[in-house]
Structure 1
């Protein structure tokens, strides 16, 4: 492995220390990132598919195109970038640069107007590609700082806290959008609903949250020290590290097998977060209000799921907890694929019975679909924390920074696979539900690979 200056890091199994300001600053960063992801999933993507593109099936295909192109770009660039920045040491200046680009791209989505009045669809897709790419870069750098953020404490504990903060921030964000922009006849700021300004302004608000969440990280969070290497030496070290990656991982077989499993199942989970709103809006015909309520419910389910799954993790271990979560997601998706306005798990209901006489989620199938999506969200909420904790137990503490950088990079290598498969399946079957079958396959493959990993109670010993 290429030489990288890494601060002394306490083992993950060390007794948890009191949360300090630098650790909290690292965790607060998720307070802007998760609302951005939720905004895309339940506000912008459904609006783009149904209103800008004008056809739910064609819109899902366009969303698949954006995610596919972004995945290709990340797979080609993120591994080298991560290895290069390991050689340079400091991450925070790069987070500033990438966040500035991301904020500008997200804010530009204001010009995604319906009927071709604003930006062309190709330009919107390009903006989404750049947004996803630079979001991936900031995610990679943020994750790689976990080892120093939790210095002297528990990485699993701090990782879980960041998810709780992000879910809570996203919950409040969607409540505000619902009450201030979607439900009132006259939205806040006098926004025009005819041109969908009340929905197009949401990306701008998400961009402002990204800025606000970055400030504590940049001011207070710990960073790796600069290595003071020249750029030529840094590039040489990065290429040497990537060239020796197979040999290095061969010495850590369980860490290598876990990273491979995570690379596959994380691709499926990412696709779920991107396409859920498009699926619900297109298949079930849910309104903007119902999609926002879905997002609010998902964040509540995520917070609840993360709370209980973290305790399950402590009782039975990260690997078994991940196996339970992936199995549950597969079952939920199988039922979702077979559910529509007049069908539950491929069983047709005569007359489309109503569940209640209300303004939202009135049909029995609406309630079932909603329950399935919330269940799946609750299960997915713990995957990040348990995945990070499992890697911490499989990797040597002295190389935690490098391994968490590799963990972040592994999530980009096949990031194009699920969107590509969803796009093919959707186009071939002309069915949004059938388009989700590849996600089930990816989760199943990840689950099978995870079963080959042998976890340990303490980090693996380094080979002499």
Structure 2
């Protein structure tokens, strides 16, 4: 028994997470569990890369400015309304995020939460098409409710998505994987922005040779369809 214990202790002493041949070829994650395969943790990075362009396009550059300036038709009032829904979402998340984080750590089932919140976000993003200029389409109250729900779901998806990283990434690569996910999100957002500009926003407004003569897919710039798509 003493000899066996000594052998186990020696094995643990010589274990190196950077050596895939040690400890039965199991590389440990920051959580102390076997890390996911490269396919697993690179899939995690692409998950963030697919989600972050929403924030870049909708919240920062395209839809929120369109909502303030064109839907509300009053930039000051529009920015105030956006501030209200952002503050309300922040208040709700401040109350719920600690509990959601505890659920993520204790239950360990994070993918269903990510899938569920992203599904709601997707439905909400499709609904943005129907928020038309100057009160046409969906009502102002319904529009604000949609933006509020999407904001909540986006942040909850972040909580559970980020909670997955310590248990899937090898301990010595967690910084690289996290940085790659952040980079993919920004690159994806930039590429999507360039596509929208070239395909929908700039045709017919600039004489540049590389632009189509008219917006693709029959997009109507006068109806701000390029801002809603």
- Which residue is 1:198 aligned to? 226
- The 8 Å contact of residues 181 and 198 in structure 1, kept in 2 or not, is answered as yes
C-alpha distance in structure 1 between counterparts of 2:48 and 2:29, whole Å: 23
- Superposed, which structure 2 residues align to 1:88-167 within 5 Å? 88-167=107-186
C-alpha offsets along residues 18-47 of structure 1, whole Å, 9 cap, x if unaligned?
x81111111111221221011121000110
**Corresponding residue pairs, total:** 189
Matches within 5 A, 1:214-233: none
Deviation, 1:148, is 1.8
Q: Could you list the runs of 4 or more consecutive aligned residues of structure 1 that deviate by over 6 angstroms after TM superposition? A: none
- Displacement of 1:170 in angstroms is 1.0
Larger radius of gyration: 2
Q: What residue is the counterpart of 2:79 in the other structure?
A: 60
CA contact (8 A) 1:9 1:147 kept: no
Contact 2:30 2:167 in 1 (8 A): no
Where does residue 72 of structure 1 map in the other structure?
91
The answer to whether structure 1 residue 35 and structure 2 residue 63 are counterparts is no
Query: Structure 2: how far apart are the matches of 1:189 and 1:38?
Result: 23
Q: TM-score, normalised by structure 1?
A: 0.39
Q: Specify every segment of 5 or more residues in structure 1 that has no aligned partner in the other structure, as ranges.
A: 1-7, 202-464
> Is the contact made by 2:219 and 2:226 (CA closer than 8 Å) also made in structure 1?
yes
Please give the alpha-carbon distance, in whole angstroms, between the structure 1 residues aligned to 2:172 and 2:55. Answer: 28
What is the Cα deviation at residue 10 of structure 1? 4.1
**Paired residue for 2:63?**
44
User: Take 2:220 and 2:157, find their aligned partners in 1: how far apart are those partners?
Assistant: 33
CA RMSD across the alignment: 1.9
Kindly indicate whether the alpha-carbon contact (under 8 Å) linking 1:35 and 1:173 is maintained by their aligned counterparts in 2: yes
* Unmatched runs of 5 consecutive residues or more in structure 2: 1-26, 205-213
Aligned to 1:378: none
Query: 1:26 is matched with which residue?
Result: 44
TM-score (norm 2): 0.77
Helix, strand or coil: the match of 2:196?
Answer: helix
